[in-house]
Amino acid sequence: MAKKSKATIADVARLAGVSTATAGRVLGRYGYTREETREQVLHAARKLGYRTNALARGLITGKTRTIGVVAGDIQNPFYASILRGISDVVESRDFGLLIVNSDENLDKEIRAVNLLMEKQVDGLIVSPCDTRNSRHLRDLQAAGLPLVLLDRSVAGLEVDRVAIDNIAASERAVSALISAGHRRIGLVGEMMEYQEGGLDAFLQRGLAGEVLSTDTLYPSWQRLLGYLRAHRQAGLEIDASLVRRVGAYSAGAAQAVARELLDRSDRPSAVFATDGTMSEGVMGAISAADLSVPREVSLVCFDDLEWMSFLSPGISTMAQPRLSMGETAATMLLERIEGRQEPARAVMMRADFIQRGSIARIS
């Protein structure tokens, strides 16, 4: 069997005594062939250890059966789970999966998209790191390449996307704290994306109910909006000094910021962390400060990470359906690849609040 140096369709055809067209038909499973010739070809192919060259096929058909994903960081559990979801549906359809990290950096994202286009992927899933700067994504559209946006959206780009309703999810999470009696709730958020006038101006506008175009906001900014909304619903004022922007997807940076919050003499009675990485940082700060949850601080996180259920008491958190988000994105993309024509859809998935023991009742 399995010979050295690759056998081509021509080799197989020669050995089987048929034309390359015929050999191609049986090996590529297209067109009709007599059962008998089919077997001759298959036999020859096996003897030569023939293996399809997907490059040649792709060049001809214009389809590679490979999709590309650009994620922020495959090491981050958020993306790791999403990628697993994508991978599951993609593998079940015999597609390949080309993955590249953007590190939430626009230049890297652009290079990633270029690389993937050169490799002729049939479609792309991207978690765009910039909601405004999107020439590279528009180019994809122009080139007719299917694209699904994950987690974030891009201003004025009408393509399929999957995400959760961040504002509502966050409002729900913060409300859990408020209804337990908390009045001073710290927020530690990544909020990397630039906002006109920075955090202060944003808060201003948010409190005045002015913030428009909320759905092209970055998730963490949206979650801040949810925080504001929960307070407004409850008729509570906000202490702007409790809202802290980390400005980076880094647990270390989040820990430093959280530490400041916890070291204050007028420490908040609870902290809300707006994503998994922030949650790690906040938890690290709480541990380092040797504070007891929920006796000394209450905590609500975002994204359900393994450790949140180990700790006792467990950590209450807003769980995004990461696996299904990935599966859904991949399914939508494959439908487009198969030619489905219909207006762009925005699938908003449901996030569930998992109530564990990290919220103290305050009277």
Partner DNA sequence: CTGAAAGCGCTTACAG
List interacting residues with a copy of itself (CB under 8 A). 2-6, 49, 51-56, 58-59, 64, 66, 73-75, 77, 80-81, 83-84, 87-88, 91, 94, 96-101, 114-120, 139, 142-144, 251, 280, 283-284, 287, 290, 305-307, 309-312, 314
- Write each residue from 17 to 56 as x if it is in contact with DNA (CB under 7 A), else as -, in one continuous string: xxxxxx-xx-xx-xxxxx-xxx-----------xxxx--x
Residue of the chain from 39, 49, 59, 91 that contacts DNA (CB under 7 A)? 59
116 binds, among a copy of itself, DNA, none (CB under 5 to 8 A by kind): a copy of itself
84 binds, among DNA, a copy of itself, none (CB under 5 to 8 A by kind): a copy of itself
Is the CB of 228 or the CB of 305 nearer to a copy of itself? 305
Q: How far is the CB of 91 from DNA (least distance, A)?
A: 20
Q: Output the six-digit token pair for 269.
A: 């009675």
Q: How many angstroms separate the most distant Cα atoms in the chain? A: 88
Q: Which stretch binds DNA (CB under 7 A): 59-67, 219-227, 244-252, 345-353?
A: 59-67
Task: With beta carbons less than 8 A apart as the criterion, state whether 262 and 139 touch.
Answer: no
Q: How far is the CB of 112 from a copy of itself (least distance, A)?
A: 8
Name the pairing type of β-strands 66-71 and 123-126.
parallel
Is the CB of 21 or the CB of 201 nearer to DNA? 21
155 binds, among DNA, a copy of itself, none (CB under 5 to 8 A by kind): none
101 binds, among a copy of itself, DNA, none (CB under 5 to 8 A by kind): a copy of itself
Q: Which strands make up the sheet holding 316-319, listed edge to edge?
A: 243-245, 185-189, 270-273, 298-302, 316-319, 352-354
Is the CB of 268 or the CB of 276 nearer to a copy of itself? 276
309 binds, among a copy of itself, DNA, none (CB under 5 to 8 A by kind): a copy of itself
Q: Which stretch binds DNA (CB under 7 A): 6-14, 156-164, 191-199, 333-341?
A: 6-14
Does 267 bind DNA (CB under 7 A)? Our answer is no
287 binds, among DNA, a copy of itself, none (CB under 5 to 8 A by kind): a copy of itself
In 3D space, the residue among 144, 178, 146 whose CA is nearest the CA of residue 159 turns out to be 146
Number of chain residues interacting with DNA (CB under 7 A): 31
**Binding positions for DNA, rule: CB under 7 A:** 6, 8-10, 17-22, 24-25, 27-28, 30-34, 36-38, 50-53, 56-57, 59-61
